[in-house]
Amino acid sequence: MFTITHMSPVTLPDDHPSQIPWNQWPEKFTQSHLIELDKPHTIGGKSSAPSGDLFRLYDDDGNLYAQGMIALDDDDDGFEPLDWAMGNWGCTEIRYHTPGKGWVTL
């Protein structure tokens, strides 16, 4: 189970007030484009307060699509958010925030 807490405008639903039409997208989506969700989106379980390790999802051009949190345990390989985002947004990379190292690709 993981929770999406921030999304880039490209991943927001069409009716979201911060959605940007595709022809007005910036050349590259970065952290400055992330929008904090009023209600975080939990995937793979019951909705709960986000907790655990921070992750970010990117496409193969380095565009940042989303940020979230996952509570990893011994059975997790850390790829669950990427597996989900590949099919939904075409993401190809997941990075985890590591204290002292910053964002590290898994």
Evaluate if residue 20 carries a pLDDT over 60.
Answer: yes
CA-based nearest residue to 65, from 39, 35, 44? 35
Evaluate if residue 29 carries a pLDDT over 80.
Answer: no
The whole domain housing 85 covers 2-105
Helix (H) or strand (E) holding 30: none
Q: Note the pLDDT of residue 47.
A: 56
Q: Of the given ranges (18-22, 27-31, 62-66), which has the lowest mean pLDDT? A: 18-22
Helix (H) or strand (E) holding 35: strand 35-43
Domains contained in the chain, number: 1
Q: Of the given ranges (17-26, 61-70, 89-98), which has the lowest mean pLDDT? A: 17-26
Kindly tell me the sign of the dihedral angle through the C-alpha atoms of 66, 68, 74, 80.
negative
